[in-house]
Structures are given as structure tokens and as C-alpha cells.
Structure 1
């Protein structure tokens, strides 16, 4: 089964270029291109989509607003923010609004393809520069009293690895546990912190707690 992708960008040349790049991978199919967030939202009512590549700065409805609108109605749609603007506020707001990945447009074509596959599998994907900016922006404390959240040392370590974009399998390899045990621990973390998904876990960790 192919990964169905929607490209949302106000620049026609970029839409065409991305469509050409993604056509090189037989496991991906571009099923729609839209020029702004409202158009994308309307098209989702008629088209089955798995992953959305979303630009930030667009007329009518920008990428941050569109991510919030789409995620609230279609929470199963996985949105990757793809932009030339590595603005801190955009990064944080997009993730808060439900984005599952954030890439800068200067990454290589194979990285874009890889990002789509990673996010499609349910993992969080952040460009290394974005992760560094998030950590700096959210001013994570060196010493955080994680115990007050009833979190174990193992759970905190898993949160850290999630914030760095590791998959369950990669986390399992790092902490020497089975992938099934890691999944159970992530469920425990979500329950303890009353969070919805991995993205919220990553933001919670990077902020040093304090939802």
C-alpha cells in the first residue's frame, strides 16, 4: 500500500518540484497539491491522505493555522511542516497544533522521503537544527524534579529519546528493552501526564515539565 501524500504550498514551482521528488519513490503517491491551508482542508473532505507536507507562510490560511484546523478534525492525518523559515514561534506553535514533523526546505530530497516514511509509521521527526532551537527556546532546566510527576528514571530516559526523534525500535535498542515493553512504558507516560501523543511527550520533556 502506498503512502498517500498531500503537498500544501503557495509556490507552484515548489509544489511541482516536491511532486517530482516524491515520484522517485514507488512507495509514495502524491494524491493532491493545494496552494493554502483552507484549500487543503476542503480537499481533505474529498481525498484520502496519510501525510501532509505543509508550508508555513501562505496567504488565506497559513501552515500553523491549517495544522490546528486539520488536526482537530482529522487527527489521523500526519502533518510535516516544511519551510525555509526556522522561526522559533512557528516551530513551537506548529508542534502544539498537532504537527508530527518539522523540516527545513534545504534538506536533501532523500531526507524528505525518509521523513514521510518516519512520520507515517507514527514517529516524531525534527530537523536537528529545530531540536536545538526548541531546547534553547523552551529553556529546559538542567535539573528537573521528574519524580513529582511520578515518572521513573527509565520513563524519563524514554521521553528524552522521543524528543530526539527516536522510533520505538531505536529506543528499545538504546534502553535494552523489548519494543513491546517500550510501547507499554510510553502508554504509562501518556497516562501519568495526561498527554495525547508522542509530540506532546516531546514538548513536555523539552519544556522540563510544566504543561
Structure 2
């Protein structure tokens, strides 16, 4: 049997941690291995427990979640960090992405939606919602000028990138392009290697920023 994904919860509010604990604790393939109340504790626990996923609040005393995320991702890039917050401010969203976060969950969304999202994160298939893709588009088309950079991607990689930027999953991309999911994953690895990126959110951000996707 496959080992469950190990999760750390980071939030300075007892009720928030309890609510997250109840949601995530009900999933068989996820196990909560630790809880922290601020960014400093999160870094310490990460080094001690080496989790697979960290559910990170933003606003906390001593050290906020974004600062902790940057430190953790610098030291342990393979650990997935999901920002969990009540705020959907674009500023927070983009700061989280810049610090290396793989995902962004709102505390007030339906708890039943958490499992699908967490599983996608755990499977290295970070879901990109239409709302997030729209915010990304708004953010980068509002810039005065787009920096045009020579595209190092192959034609097929460009096709995959465009579908990722539209929020398609690996399965959807494999159907659209008539290729296997394994091939899609390989193309994504090549894209991230060529562009020096880490995840789908950063791929989408980069694509719009460089003007490769309209």
C-alpha cells in the first residue's frame, strides 16, 4: 500500500488549525504529522519532520507564511507548500507564487473541494482554476509593456504550455494533443527545465508575462 502524504498545518489560530485538521484528517492518503503557529515554528518542524506538503497561513506573528515559504522552498524545493488563507487578494496570490508556493487554497471554499486539490498537488499536477488563470492574465496584461523573449520551446512544448496556461490537466492535454499522459509529463519537465521554473502556476505566469500566450 502506498504511504500516505505527510502534512504539516501552519496557522496561528487554534480554530483554523482544528478546522483544517478535521478536513485533511478525514482523507485516508493524507496524514497530519505536525502543527505550527508561525513561520519560525514551520521551518523548525519542516527540518525535523520532512513533510510532503505544508498548508501555510499568510498572516502570523514572529514570521509570516510568505517569508517562511521562501526559506523552506530554498532549502527543500521538493516540499510542496500550499498557501491557505481567507484572502484572495491578487497581491498575496502573486507573492505566494514568487516565494515558490505550489498552490493557493481559500479557507472559505467547500471542504469537499479540498481533497481533489490536495491530491492534484501531491501528484505533481497542480490545478489551475479559471479564476486564477484570469487573474494571471489581468495582472500581466496590465503591465505597460511585455518583455518579448526568444521562445526556447519546441512546437509541441509550446502547445502543451498554452494548454497548461488555459488550466487544462495532464489528462485533458493528452486527449487534446493525442499523446499519452506520460509524454505530457515529459514535455512539462522539459518546459520547466528550459525555463528554469518549478510548477504549473509559474509556467502560466511566465507564459503570460513573456507574451507567449494571448
TM-score range with shorter-chain normalisation?
A: 0.7 to 0.9
CA RMSD of aligned residues (A): 2.5
Equivalences for 1:23-34 in 2 at 5 Å?
23-34=25-36
Partner of 2:98: 96
Partner of 2:139: 137
Partner of 1:11: 13
CA contact (8 A) 2:7 2:52 kept: yes
CA contact (8 A) 1:149 1:192 kept: no
Q: 1:52–1:196: structure 2 CA closer, same or farther, 3 Å change rule?
A: closer
Unaligned runs of 5+ in 1: none
2:65 is aligned, of 63, 66, 86, to: 63
Q: Note the C-alpha offset of 1:168.
A: 2.5
Q: 1:140–1:148: structure 2 CA closer, same or farther, 3 Å change rule?
A: farther
Q: Note the C-alpha offset of 1:74.
A: 1.1
CA contact (8 A) 2:11 2:38 kept: yes
Q: Note the C-alpha offset of 1:6.
A: 0.8
CA distance in 1 between partners of 2:141 and 2:28 (Å): 42
Unaligned runs of 5+ in 2: none
Partner of 1:39: 41
Stretch moving more, 125-134 or 75-84 = 125-134
Equivalences for 1:184-203 in 2 at 5 Å?
184-203=186-205
The TM-score normalised by the length of structure 1 is: 0.87
Work out the number of aligned pairs and report it.
Answer: 208
CA distance in 1 between partners of 2:196 and 2:77 (Å): 17
Q: 1:163–1:53: structure 2 CA closer, same or farther, 3 Å change rule?
A: farther
Q: Note the C-alpha offset of 1:127.
A: 4.5
Q: Note the C-alpha offset of 1:159.
A: 1.3
For the residue of structure 2 that corresponds to 1:44, the secondary structure is: helix
CA distance in 2 between partners of 1:70 and 1:165 (Å): 27
2:115 is aligned, of 104, 113, 116, to: 113
Stretch moving more, 10-19 or 24-33 = 24-33
For the residue of structure 2 that corresponds to 1:46, the secondary structure is: helix
CA contact (8 A) 1:67 1:97 kept: yes
CA distance in 2 between partners of 1:51 and 1:81 (Å): 11
Stretch moving more, 194-203 or 27-36 = 194-203
Q: Note the C-alpha offset of 1:131.
A: 2.7
Stretch moving more, 69-78 or 109-118 = 109-118
**Deviation string for 1:161-193 (max 9, x for gaps)?**
323444433321222111232233223323433
Partner of 1:154: 156
